[in-house]
Amino acid sequence: MPDSAALSPRQRTRLDAYTQTGYNFDPDQLTDYTAATGWRVDDYETELPTEAPGPPAARGSWAAACEVLRRYSFPPPGLISGIFLPDQPLSQRVMVLRAQFLGFSFWFGVRIGGVTDETRPLPEGGQEQVWGYNYRTLEGHFERGQIEFIVHKNLTTGRVWCHIHAVSQTGRIRNPFYWLGFKLFGRRLQVRFSQQSLKRLGQQVEQMLREGWQAPPASDSPTVKPISAHDDAQAQLDKNR
């Protein structure tokens, strides 16, 4: 991943401008976004290797899953490639995601809306340790909404799992070609992304527990590089300035 300090001042300015691009929905109204008000609400979950009861182990299943989420190495590379600012803290990360599906390519701008790192009470009693983040759609995105990735550990039982929670609605798509493509394939793209991402996350966690914590091979991960390195991503950036 190239060091963004090597970018030209013009490129740096463009990246900074994209960081200021607004959301295409109101995050303060998330609790009002339900199926009854015309939004899709999706939940997906996968079990991960259990740990001993108590706080997460330093190199255990929970910590490994957090690392996979942090690296953004879990999306299926044939479906999603992520381009983001390598020197930004996770809580400020902005990404351009290229989704590829049945010959169509869609460019999406997103920003991390919040990082979760806390101990919570469980409804059945006891506590859980949770870590993760959400990202939210920016102006120019074909969708409106937020997707959240959270890793949980039940501190009493040692159960570890990852949960995806997404709230979305089709946004405004001016280009009729992309409108048709997204209408035909967008929903299937959403479902495949979540299902395959959780499957890959589980595989990477198991590999890390077996083999150590080396970064996943570049060929097995989404493309991660500055936005300015890709012409189409730069065009998306300029469009949203």
Is 50 exceeded by the pLDDT of residue 45?
yes
Structural domain range at position 205: 4-239
CB 84 within 8 A of CB 72: yes
Is 90 exceeded by the pLDDT of residue 109?
no
Give SS3 for 84.
Answer: strand
Is 60 exceeded by the pLDDT of residue 240?
no
Q: Any idea what the CATH number is for the domain that residue 113 is in?
A: 3.30.530.20
Domain count, the chain: 1
Distance set, CA 139 to CA 152, 188, 209 (Å): 31, 22, 39
- AA identity, residue 131: W
Please, what's the b/e burial string for 34-51 (b: 16 or more CB within 10 A of its CB; e: otherwise)? eeeeebbeeebebebbbb
Token match 């190199």: residue?
A: 59
Q: Which among 125, 127, 94, 136 is positioned nearest to 233, based on CA atoms? A: 94
The pLDDT tens digits for 159-172 are 999 999 999 887 56
Residue 68, token pair as written in the block: 């996979």
The pLDDT tens digits for 198-239 are 999 999 999 999 998 775 554 454 444 443 444 454 454 444
CB 127 within 8 A of CB 155: yes
Compute the 3-state secondary structure of the chain and give helix, strand, coil in percent, each to the nearest 5: 35, 30, 30
Is 50 exceeded by the pLDDT of residue 11?
no
